[in-house]
Structure 1
């Protein structure tokens, strides 16, 4: 692992003062007394879980509080967290994808934040996604908006210095590249990752739910336009009809020119830098995603930190949240895994001034808003399944959207009953 200058004496001192500053009721003696206590439990997913242990020594040195980190597989973490809540076995601190905060707050699994100061320095759009009925239940930790990763050399041969910024231009550019490279594809849009399609739905102005978010609303002109554009990319041979299991090494595929444009998040930066021998940095760049009439809002997998409502050590748990979400910790994480800070103040650091990061910062000021219903993760899966049926020619767009509304209505039946009874706003 490369040396990280953010972990020098100055950064460690800042972290020490910040951590202790959140523990005024415990006092230094109590902090010292925790050295023999059970470690705090922290659960996180994916790269965040894998690399979180590297952020803990500074916290333990400052407070005397040990932390036991458990890294959860992303595909099974949602079920594991719900099982832990049902069984009274939640960790003290947990990472949640922002789309899950509403659900876990609604079932009483996470505690509201104790001080507005914890979220006083966040990108506003990111913070809005973690509010439930006007209360903050999570501290945004990292932001991962989608941008276009593109092959500079391949686009240049087709006459483009950078990717087009609107949908019509995207298709014209795609066909220009396809003429140059008829045996390869242009766009990488994996059928089991629906974020790009959900971005398209938002960009057309589609309101995916109606009647106080109790019914599906996919048989609209806007939703049809998004599905039609998405399906057209595949129908015209510009993207492979593939799942992530069929393209197991997208970095290698990108390096080999199998596709030229890859809408994805910032963790890809680290993958590309690590594999510079396969694809040197001068061959690729980043740009904001195209929209129907120009640049617009996009979706992405942003994450937040939460404290379990059942933790017996809330002051210590919130101290850990403050440490992990501090500018020093967020900047170190950016070096380790590529995810970008949710705190605005962290962006004044020289390490985030690289031109390759500029599209991410611009995009974070305009994140796409998702429906705030606890069923949203399951609705996203239904959108994905409907889109795949259209792309593979199993259903027409009207058939798929009608079926999607039916399935979403079924998912929202309990919510509809609660709203109808006046027990849910």
Structure 2
């Protein structure tokens, strides 16, 4: 961390303490137990790097626990039931409504904490018009593309619409019949979820209590997605079969890879096999042009079980400040949710421009507790179609039925007027 960044963060943290009633906490250095923070994925692994400046400014130590992503949802719910949540917790934005509904997280106490956020990102953390989380780490998808492979097929950049994408794929496949064009592995749901959003599909109906996958919009997205495999433009493979997607991209096994900003770090670490001049980024194609795109974004919340809410919110303010977000971008690649951070020269690299543009147009996922499980069902339905196990009509009807069963409890609560 640079000296200027550290000092800016130090002043920001110190300036927040009086506003939160924390004056004098620095003089109590070491007298309190550390604050606890639970976070997942790269955020959890690298959070300790952001703590020295906070501790130096406030005298408050922080104990960071990095949770495995696949087990974190259950662990957080179990901790809430047992009264053992940490002071501060990271939530993926799709989880915020669930944890707000069960009373696990507190409302944000000051508008200043969520000022200067990208509007669409902030909206995904609000419940009933109230802020329950402070956006932290954003990962929209773009398409990484091989400049050399596209140039050989007559394209400077990928087309912005689905028909153009297909024409480009046809041109690439003619020159490289033994390779593929798109890397969209069958257990990665984000590409299909993005296609559904861009096609205008409203994936749930009746106040988000039933599946809505037999509409023309959903059918068009599923059909287009499946056709890329049927025409040989994408491999019918799982991530267990292609365990090194960076190498697949580097060798020309595929020319287009829809992915998030952490891939930038993967490419930087492996520049020996994928030199910087061979690839670039662009916004993802949509049915009639670029549009909303799915991505995995996370926010920070304060537990309703914390005994130290003022200190906890001070920690949230430090971690979501522009300097801390820029430090994170250097460390893990995920992007700042605070608009002011984007004025930094650090984010002036042209490969980040598609990400910056996409931050203004995130896809809006259904705000239901069951969304994680619904996404898995969507991808399983798509895989059945791709592999020829079910027809499109049968798969979409079965998907609606499975989603209806997943939403049975929500439907009963809505019908009873328990939730709006």
TM interval, short-chain normalised: over 0.9
Tell whether the 8 Å contact from 1:327 to 1:343 is kept in structure 2 after alignment.
yes
Matched, 1:65 2:54: no
Name the CA distance, whole Å, in 1 between partners of 2:82 and 2:417. 30
Structure 1 position 307 matched with structure 2 position 302: yes
User: What is the distance in 1 between the residues matched to 2:212 and 2:100?
Assistant: 25
User: Are 2:364 and 1:369 aligned?
Assistant: yes
Following TM superposition, by how much is the alpha carbon of 1:8 offset from its aligned partner in structure 2, in angstroms? 2.8
Counterparts of 1:396 and 1:137, CA distance in 2: 42
Residue 91 of structure 1 corresponds to 86
* 2:220 is equivalent to residue 211 of structure 1: no
Structure 2 counterparts to residues 284-303 of structure 1, below 5 A:
284-303=279-298
Quick one: which of 53, 72, 75 aligns to 1:77?
A: 72
Conserved 8 A contact 1:22-1:318? no
Q: Contact conserved, 2:22 with 2:311, CA < 8 A, in 1?
A: no
SS at match of 2:136: strand
Matched, 1:39 2:31: no
1:174 maps onto 2:159 in alignment: no
Measured in 1, the distance between the counterparts of 2:329 and 2:255 equals: 25
Q: 2 CA distance for matches of 1:37 and 1:244?
A: 45
The residue that corresponds to 1:263 in the other structure is: 258
Query: What is the Cα deviation at residue 203 of structure 1?
Result: 1.1
Q: Which residue of 1 aligns with 2:14?
A: 20
1:188 aligns to 2:197 (yes or no): no
Question: Displacement of 1:9 after TM fit?
Answer: 2.9
2: CA distance, partners of 1:258 / 1:15: 44
Q: Distance in 2 between matches of 1:235 and 1:118?
A: 48
**Structure 1 vs Structure 2 CA RMSD:** 1.0
1:27–1:400 CA distance, 2 compared to 1 (3 A): closer
Distance between the aligned counterparts of 1:271 and 1:47, measured in 2? 13
Gaps of 5+ in 1: 1-6
The residue that corresponds to 1:232 in the other structure is 227
Which digits, 9 at most, give the CA deviation of each residue in 1:200-258, with x for residues without a partner?
A: 11111111111111111111111110000000000011111111111111111111111
* 1:10 matched residue in structure 2: 4
Among 242, 245, 250, the alignment partner of 2:240 is: 245
1:317 maps to what in 2?
312
- Further displaced range: 272-281 or 19-28: 19-28
SS of equivalent to 2:173: helix
Distance 2:25 2:415 in 1: 50
* CA-CA distance at 1:29 after TM superposition: 2.6
Q: Within 5 Å, which residues of 2 pair with 1:62-141?
A: 62-141=57-136
CA shift digits 1:69-95 (9 cap, x unpaired): 111111111111111111211111111
Q: Distance in 1 between matches of 2:180 and 2:348?
A: 32
2:7 and 2:309 map into 1 onto residues whose CA distance is 23
Equivalences for residues 276-291 of structure 1 within 5 A: 276-291=271-286
TM-score, normalisation: structure 2: 0.98
**Whole-Å Cα distance in 1 between the matches of residues 49 and 251 of structure 2?**
33
User: Which of residues 186, 206, 216 is equivalent to 1:221?
Assistant: 216
1:394 to 377, 389, 392: 389
Instruction: State the secondary structure of the residue aligned to 1:69.
Output: strand
The residue aligned with 1:4 is: none
Is the Cα–Cα contact under 8 Å of residues 142 and 330 in structure 1 kept in the other structure?
A: yes
- Deviation at 1:13? 2.0
* TM-score between both structures, scaled by the size of structure 1: 0.97
Residue 194 of structure 2 is aligned to residue 199 of structure 1: yes
Question: Deviation digits for residues 51-106 of structure 1, max 9, x if unmatched?
Answer: 11111111111111111111111111111111111121111111111111111111
SS of 2:353 mapped into structure 1: helix
Question: Structure 1 runs of 4+ off > 4 angstroms?
Answer: 25-28
Q: Secondary structure at the match of 1:23?
A: helix
After TM superposition, give the deviation of residue 423 of structure 1 in Å. 1.6
Give me the whole-angstrom Cα distance separating, in 1, the residues matched to 2:404 and 2:355: 35
| Kept in 2: contact 1:121–1:343 (CA 8 A) | yes
Question: Deviation per CA, 1:335-375, whole angstroms, max 9, x where unpaired?
Answer: 11111100000000001011110000001101110111111
In structure 1, distance between residues paired with 2:225 and 2:27: 57
* 2:196–2:221 Cα contact (<8 Å) kept: yes
- Distance between the aligned counterparts of 1:80 and 1:125, measured in 2? 28
User: 2:89–2:302: 8 Å Cα contact kept in structure 1?
Assistant: yes
Residue 25 (structure 2) aligned to one of 24, 30, 34: 30
Match for residue 3 of structure 1?
none
Tell me the secondary structure at the aligned position of residue 96 of structure 1. strand
> In 2, distance between residues paired with 1:237 and 1:281?
28
1:55–1:329 Cα contact (<8 Å) kept: yes
